[in-house]
Structure 1
Amino acid sequence: MAVFTPVTDAELGDWLQHYDLGDVVEFRGIHSGIENSNFFLTTTHGQYVLTIFEKLTATQLPFYLDLMRHLASHRVPVPDPMPRRDGSLFGMLKGKPAAIVTKLEGAPELAPTPAHCIEVGQMLARMHLAGRDFARHQPNLRSLSWWQENVPAIASFLTDSQRALIETELAHQAAFFASADYATLPEGPCHCDLFRDNVLFAHGRQHVRLGGFFDFYFAGVDKWLFDVAVTVNDWCTDLETGALDPARVDALLRAYQTVRPFTPAEDCHWNDMLRAGAMRFWVSRLYDFHRPREAELLKPHDPGHFERILRERIHAASSHAQR
């Protein structure tokens, strides 16, 4: 959520003529993230987030916005896109598609406890089930084919050890994705990027309360297990070592499975999917780090974090196999 495309007050005022959202009270850029230009927008009608999409096209965008509307209608706490006066959920701002969504309550929890993981696990399962009757279909655009396409573009920046790791894991994941077991894994719309900073909590006096999930612009139809693995790799990982914290893993997975139990194939391939989740973000962070775009506010993430996570997941699988 960097600012690649600045917007002046005059440009904003002209664009808001297409909405019934009242008068602007405050408008400011959001500094974190690396994919789209995002702004907090407060009007006399409420608080919103305005997003200018730097990569997504007007053809791709309806999937994400319609998915959020669908989930919101099923009482999943997500940003709800605001319709324009013509009924559309986005328009063109400075030559790029842009949308306004409701701002959720709360703040991210960057040091989660098992109690936070329980809330996330339950809501993630509810979100998966709520998406079963969503009519649109778009694959996860950062899945295996994207890794295969982009690994060659970053290979020259890697050490020999890193190249060996990424090429070996790419072959492992290609075989996993082509397997009969993989084909049987249940699937549907997934967030695909449910990190700690994409979830808000509104803390009550006696308990934690989930405010909602946001930033659905990496969402796609994928295996539900992949979505859980991506979530666990962030919410339940020690940030220094990349190792999983058993208490948080147990809390999140138990909570998820009270709503949607895993199938036998999901249980069998849990570690494969943890590795897939780590691979996806190692590749993307390597690409963003070594081939960055210019931005007014840009903070690329450390790719080494997901290299450590991937090595830890491979080590865990090897240790389990030797028992």
Structure 2
Amino acid sequence: MAVFTPVSDKDAQALLTQYNLGSLVSLQGISAGIENTNYFLDTTQGRYVLTIFEVLTHQQLPFYIELMHHLAQHSVPVPEPQTQRNGERLTTLHGKPCAIVSRLRGRHESDPGVTHCRLAGATLAQAHLAGRDFMLQQPNLRSLPWWQEVIPKVLPFLSAQQAALIQAELATQTRFFASAEHAALPSGPAHCDLFRDNVLFDGDHEHPSMGGFIDFYFAGCDAWLFDVAVAVNDWCIHRADGSWQPELLQAWLHAYAQVRPFTPEEKQAWPLMLRAAAMRFWVSRLYDFYRPREAETLQPHDPSHFERVLQARIQAGAPQLP
């Protein structure tokens, strides 16, 4: 379990006195995730998730917390941060910032089909449009400046071939991000981490319904196309080699475009943005694997997966956007 900060029942009971959420029924650590400490928190009034933030600061967190609140108020299915008796939605536990959010129904789908992809694509487009009038600003903290900072720290662990690939792609992305082409892309609040394990579905595999998007703590203001690229690089591929599953990709992109049509600038930038999305997660997984933080139990993801995805995007290009 990725628990950086242990929480006892007594801790949870004390925390709940700041809210009108009833009394503690149960507290259970969540094994998924490597960035924050998460617990399922059940009370006499409902089911919630308690998150303790291990990296993000009090100054950074209002963007994430208020974005979820904003999206929930616009009927986008996301965990809704609970408001304390003092009117705040962010508090402190063991000296670290924390929040309690509503727990959504459903579970993630490890083997999504066409219907799952349609639901996820349409909901992401709805979230992008709902975020247009969100007033807070914060950049995607795992974007190009972070890659430039982290790659030198992992280079000593890479083979000569891997080092050449990652440095060449960093140069390509540095030029792309500085271009007028990139500046013209529609942008705003974006999830930036919409993997299949961050989307919940209710119902069964053949007849799913949208449960909601979770884990917004990598969100930031970025090109919406980056958000789409991150998602389809996980949802619509053969995991063995990163190649596309065309039926899933078409379903995902067409469902998104029916809600928010892609612009000509986005269609032009699509191949490079798919590579950027693969690069982002190759870099972060390398960093988590070779420079891990201490925790009770920590299982970082395999970095080589997104190395293969990046190579596939470079070699095979990208199908056109609808």
TM-score scaled by structure 2? 0.97
What corresponds to 1:37 in structure 2?
A: 37
Contact 1:32 1:299 in 2 (8 A): no
Residues 103-148 of structure 1: per-residue CA shift (max 9 Å, x gap): 0000000000111100000000000000000000000000000000
Distance in 2 between residues matched to 1:46 and 1:228, nearest whole Å: 33
Distance across 2 between alignment mates of 1:75 and 1:204: 23
Partners of 2:38 and 2:49 within 8 A in 1 = yes
The aligned residue for residue 150 of structure 1 is 150
C-alpha deviation, 1:14, in angstroms: 1.5
1:18-64 residue CA offsets vs partner (Å, 9 max, x unmatched): 11111111101001110000000000000000000001111111000
Q: Could you tell me how far apart the structure 2 residues matched to 1:257 and 1:103 are?
A: 29
What is the rounded CA distance, in whole Å, between the counterparts of 1:140 and 1:206 in structure 2?
A: 35
Pair 175,206 (structure 1): closer, same or farther in 2 beyond 3 Å:
closer
What SS does the corresponding residue of 1:209 show, helix, strand or coil? strand
Identical positions, percent: 59
Aligned equivalents of 2:273, 2:217: Cα separation in 1: 21
SS in 1 for 2:40: strand
The amino acid that maps onto 1:32 is A
Instruction: Give the equivalent residue in structure 1 for 2:180.
Output: 180
2:154 corresponds to 1:161: no
- 1:73 corresponds in structure 2 to 73
Contact 1:32–1:298 at 8 Å: present in 2 too? no
**Aligned-pair CA distance for 1:318:** 9.7
Instruction: Identify if the C-alpha distance between structure 1 residues 318 and 69 changes in structure 2 by more than 3 Å, giving closer, same or farther.
Output: closer
Structure 1 position 86 matched with structure 2 position 96 = no
Structure 2 counterpart of 1:121? 121
Q: Paired residue for 2:28?
A: 28
| Residue matched to 2:6 | 6
Query: Matched residue of 1:287: which SS?
Result: helix
Q: Which runs of 5+ in 1 are unaligned?
A: none
* Contact 1:19/1:85 (8 A) holds in 2: yes
The one-letter amino acid paired with 1:244 is: W
- How much does 1:297 deviate? 3.0
Report the Cα distance in structure 2 between the residues aligned to 1:89 and 1:122, rounded to whole angstroms.
28
- How far apart, CA to CA, are the structure 2 residues paired with 1:285 and 1:200? 23
- In the other structure, the counterpart of 1:232 is 232
The answer to whether the 8 A contact 1:282-1:306 is kept is: yes
Corresponding pairs, count: 320
Shift in alpha-carbon separation, 1:10–1:307, aligned structure 2, 3 A:
same
CA contact (8 A) 2:270 2:318 kept: no
Tell me how far 1:15 sits from its aligned partner.
1.6
How far apart in 2 are the matches of 1:234 and 1:205? 18
**What is the deviation of 1:265?**
1.2
Answer yes or no: is the 8 Å Cα contact 1:52–1:99 preserved in 2.
Answer: yes
**How large is the RMSD of aligned CA atoms in angstroms?**
1.5
Partner of 2:244: 244
Q: Tell me if structure 2 keeps the 8 A contact 1:33–1:298.
A: no
Q: How does 1:88-107 map to 2 (within 5 A)?
A: 88-107=88-107
Where does residue 190 of structure 2 map in the other structure?
A: 190
Provide the C-alpha distance between the structure 1 equivalents of 2:185 and 2:165, rounded to a whole number of angstroms: 26
User: How far has the Cα of 1:161 moved from its partner?
Assistant: 0.5
